[in-house]
Structures are given as C-alpha cells and as structure tokens.
Amino acid sequence: MLLVEDRMSKSPITIKRDDSFQTALNLLRQGGVRHLPVLEGKKLVGILTDRDLRQASPSPVTSLSIHEIKYLLNKIVVEDIMVKDVITVPPTATIELAAKMIYEQKIGALPVVNEKGELLGIITETDILETFVEATGLGEPSSRIEVEMDDKPGALAKVAQLIKKHDINIISVMTIPGVTKGKRIVVFRLATTNPSAVKKEIEGAGYAVLSVVN
C-alpha cells in the first residue's frame, strides 16, 4: 500500500510569516516550486502559492511608477497574503486519499503534518501524477487492452485467467463504470507489445474488447 510518506517531498522549501513578498518570490523562482509552507518554528501556520503572489501584485496596467510598486510590495509580508486555513494530510494517509483531496478541493498540494501540526513534508499534484504513471506501468514496454465485462464478482478473475494462458504478465489493472448499466470497463496493461493473441482469446470467450493500444 502506497502511503503519502512514501511519495512526499520530505524537505520542502519553507518560509516564515514575517518574511517579505520579495523573499517569497525569490524562493519560488529559485526553488522551482509553486507552494511554500509557512512555519512558526516547526509548526505549520499557513501556505503561500505562486497564485497568491500574483494576486497581491499590482496590475500590469497600473499607473504606479516602479518605485511606488517596489515601495508597496516591500510593505507586504507573507502573513498578509498566505492561506491560513490550510488543508493538510497525515503521513499515513493513502495516495488515493491524497489524490481525492487534491481533486475535490481544487488545490495543487497538501502539506503533510503530524498530530502536533508540525510539518513533515509536502505532496503535490505532480507527485500524485508520477505515482499514477509508475503504478500503471506507462514507462515500461507494454500494451493496453480495454475490456467490457459484467459488473459482478469473478468477472475480472475470468479475464485474468485468459491472459494467464498466454504466459503474459499483467502490469496493472484499472476499472471504471461502464456506459451500460451492469457493465464495467477494465483496463489491463500487459507486459507485451504484441497483444493480438490475447485480444483474440478474450473476444473468443465472449467479452467485448473496446480498444487495444500497443
């Protein structure tokens, strides 16, 4: 089981609440990141994103002079623009839960904290996508077969047995609800670049093969 602590960045770039706007901007640019956890000691007290900085910046069509803009930005500190009600996740949460939280909350990252609220790391949408790519075997020589089957116990096992007959390893399996009620679409990624015999076997057993991608 993949947990957040297995995929998080354990030494994220952080910032303090009384740091300046310019300090935050420099950290984001130099670190190549989009999220800065805000700490007070070891405790997480907020998060600052590149979007927060953009929203706090003067409009490109402002009539202010460069000196006036610099003066105003120098007066802004992290605490003025950071998000204080931070959505966090514990290190023992599953990757699936972290992905669900990021998707539902429409955020780009989750600070990882312990029971004391101390920062342990951060997991981003990029970390989630990398995990998905690895878990589905997209980086390996393989093929993808999409099969429609009855949404009932044992159906998946029967198709897996058909694949086993050809001595081909199943790298990953993903299922989604089918368009037709009572059906499910199962996506197999197989350790072969020539799945034609497997496709014929599955269709011969009465299953609908929706697509094959080498």
Q: Tens of pLDDT along 39-82? A: 999 999 999 999 988 887 655 545 555 655 565 666 688 999 99
For CATH 3.10.580.10, the residue range(s) in the chain are: 4-133
pLDDT tens, position by position, 176-200:
998 889 999 999 999 999 999 999 9
CATH 3.10.580.10 fits 4-133, yes or no: yes
Within 8 A by CB and 6+ apart from 123, the residues are 4, 7, 8, 9, 89, 98, 109, 110, 112
CATH 3.40.50.460 fits 143-213, yes or no: no
What pTM, to 2 d.p., does this model score?
A: 0.80
173 φ, ψ (degrees, to nearest 5): -135, 135
Numbered ranges of CATH 3.30.70.260 in the chain = 143-213
